[in-house]
Amino acid sequence: MALIHVAAMVFALCFFLAAECSLGAFLLSRLKISIESFTEYVLIAVAAGMVTSEIALSFIDWTRHIRMGCVFLLALLAVPLAGHVRTVSTLGLNYFRKTTPLSKLETLLCGSIGLVILIEFVASLAPLTGSDALNYHFTSQKLILENGFHPDFSLLHSFLCGQNHLLILLGLALGNERLAMALIFLGGPLSALCVFCLARRWVSREIALLFALLFLVTPIAFWQVSTSGSPDIWMAVFTGAAVLVVATQSLYHSWRHAVLAGLLAGGIAGAKYTGCAIAAMLALAFLMESRSIKRTALLFTSALFAGIWPYLRNLIWTGDPVFPFLTSRLYPQHTNLFALASLRADTGAAMGHSWGSMLPFVVFAEQQGREAPLFWQFYGPITLALMPLTLVAVRNTRNWRVLLLAWLGAGLAIYATSGLVRFLLPVFPVALACTAAGMAQAHNKNWLGTYRLAWTSAALLALLGIGGLLIYTMPAISAASGLVSRQAYLESRAPDYKIAETVNRALEDVPRTGKVLVFFRHLYYLNVEFVYGNPAGSWIMDPHLLRTPADFQEFFQRDGISYVVRSPEYPEEWRKPLQELEKEGGLVPFSVASVDNFVGDRIAGRREEMRVEIFRVTRQDQHATPASRP
C-alpha cells in the first residue's frame, strides 16, 4: 500500500510539473520570448506557470468553493498541457540528442543527484511533523478549508502566509498533507536546477552538477525540501528563474522581457515579506542594465500584479498590508504590543546589527542570535571557504553584476530587516553559482593545487551532506514506506501530538457550541474548533487587557469559548487569574490524562510526562457542579 501511495504521488507530481511547464511555455509563446538553453527554458517556464497558478489560487481563496475551484484550476491546467506538451517534448529530445555523452564523473554526479532526490521525495511523504508547519503553515490552510477565508487573529503567524502557502491549500483541497508536502518537495529539484543553470554560464558541466548536488545535501535545503512543511523553497526557484531572465543578453530589446521578469519578481515578493528585498534588487539590476525607466516601470507593474495579493488580503482584513509590523504606527490603540514584540523577536526583526556580523551573514556563515556562529549546521562553509576564488573570478559583465546584486544586495537588505540567515535561502542558489565560478577560475588560471583542493573540499562536503541526509530522513523514510505506522511515527516525532489526540478523544462525543482555548503550539492535528491562547502567537490574547478572572469571563463569553485546556501549564502572564477561576468555579474540571511529550527543542529528544487537564467554562452566576473525570 505504501508503494502504491508513492507511485500515485510520482504520477501526480509528473502531471503537475508538466502542466506548469506547459502553462509557462504558453506564456512564453504569447510574449514571443525565445530561450536558447533548454534547461533554462524549462526552469523559467515552470516558474512562470507556477506564479500564474498562484495568482489564480489567490482568487479561488476568496470564494466559498475552494475545493471545487482547485479542481477547476487543475482542469484548466490540462488545456495548455495538451497544447504545448509536444513542443516541450520536442525541445527536450533535441537537447538530449545534441548533448555530449556524460563522462564517468558526470554520470556519478547525476546518479548521486537522482538518489538524493529520491530520498528527499520519499521522506517528504511521511506524516507532517515540522514545528512551524504544525503551528501555522499547514494549520492556517486547513482552517481556511474548514471555516472559509477569513482572518484568524488568534493565530498571528497566519498573516505571514504568502502565495507559496497556496500550494499547501491546493494539496489539502485535492488530497491530504502528503500531496501538499510533495508539491513543496518539487521546489527542491527545481532549485538545484537553478544552481546548474546559473553556474553553467561560467563553468563546466561537471562543476555545475557538483554544486547542484551540494545544494540538495545542504542541511537547510534538505530540511526544507523533505520534512519541514515550509514552502519557502519555492522562493529559490522564482529567484533563480528571475535572475536568469534579468541577466539574459537579449533582455533589453523588448518590453516583453520586462513583463516576464516582473511576473517572477512578484512571485518572490508575494511569498514572504523579505522577498520584497530580493524583488527590489532584481528591479534595480534591471534598471541598471536596461537604463530604461519605462521598461522598469513595466516590470514594477507586472510584479505588483503578481505579488500584491497577500498584502491586499492583510490590508482588507487589518488595514496593515504587512500586518502586524505597521499596526503600532497606523493603529496604536489596537496594537497588542506583547505579541508584536514576540513576533519581531521570532522573525529576527528585533535583533541588533553590527558591521562585524554583516559579512558572515551574507556569506551564510553565521546564525545570528546564538552564542557562537554555526558554520556547519545550516548552509555549510563552502561559500565562505571559496570566497577568495570568487573575488578573483568577478568580472564587470552583465551576468556578474546581476548575480552579485541579487546575492549581496538582497543579503544586505535582509540583514537590515532581520537577523535570521535562513531567510537567505532564496539567494543561496545564486551564491553557489558564484562560488562555482570561483572554483572554475582556479582551473582557468592553472592553479591546479588550489583547484584540486577546492574540488576535494566540495566533494567531501557533499559526502558529509549525503550522510547527514540519510541520518536525518531515516525515520521519515521508515514511516513513508510503511515500515513504521503513521500513529507510531506521529507519537514519537510530532510535538504535542499526544496532547492534541487526548483533547480530540475527550471532546469528540461531547455536544458543544463553543470553542476550545489551548496553549500548546502545534495545532494541526487538533480536530476541534479552537482559539490559540499563547500570548506570543495570538493577537487577541493581550496580557494588558486580560488581567483578572472577570476579564477572562468576558473574553470567554465574547469569543464563544466553552473549554480550556491546561497543558502545558498556563502561560505565566495568566496563571494567577485562571487558577482563581478554577477555585471560584468559573472553570470546572472535565477531563484529565497524562501523556509524554517533548520538552524544549525537539532536536534534543527529551520527553517528560505531562498532564492534560480540560476545564469546562461556566458562568460565575450559575451553580457549577464539577463533572466526574473519565
What is the structure's pLDDT at 366?
A: 66
Three cell numbers written together for 404: 552579485
Average pLDDT rounded to a whole number, residues 415-431: 92
Q: Alpha-carbon distance 260 to 378, whole Å?
A: 32
pLDDT at 591 over 90: yes
DSSP lists the bridge partners of residue 598 as 607
pLDDT at 1 over 80: no
pLDDT at 436 over 50: yes
DSSP lists the bridge partners of residue 596 as 609
pLDDT tens digits, 322-361: 999 999 999 999 999 999 999 998 888 877 777 778 888 8
Average pLDDT rounded to a whole number, residues 397-422: 93
Q: How many CA atoms lie within 13 A of 356 on its CB side?
A: 2
Residue 102 φ/ψ, nearest 5 degrees: -75, 140
In the chain, the percentage of residues whose pLDDT exceeds 70 is 95
What confidence category does residue 626 fall into, taking pLDDT thresholds of 50, 70 and 90? very low
pLDDT tens digits, 500-533: 999 999 998 887 678 999 999 999 999 999 999 9
- Is residue 233 within 8 A of residue 225, CB to CB? The reply is yes
Residue 513 φ/ψ, nearest 5 degrees: -115, -5
Q: For residue 511, say if its preceding peptide bond is cis, omega within 30 degrees of 0.
A: no
Alpha carbon of 523 to those of 152, 373, 385, 610: distances in Å? 13, 32, 41, 17
- Please, what is the end-to-end C-alpha distance for the chain in angstroms? 37
Three cell numbers written together for 68: 471545487
The single residue listed with the C-alpha cell 516541450 is 88
| Domain locations along the chain | 2-122+131-476, 495-617
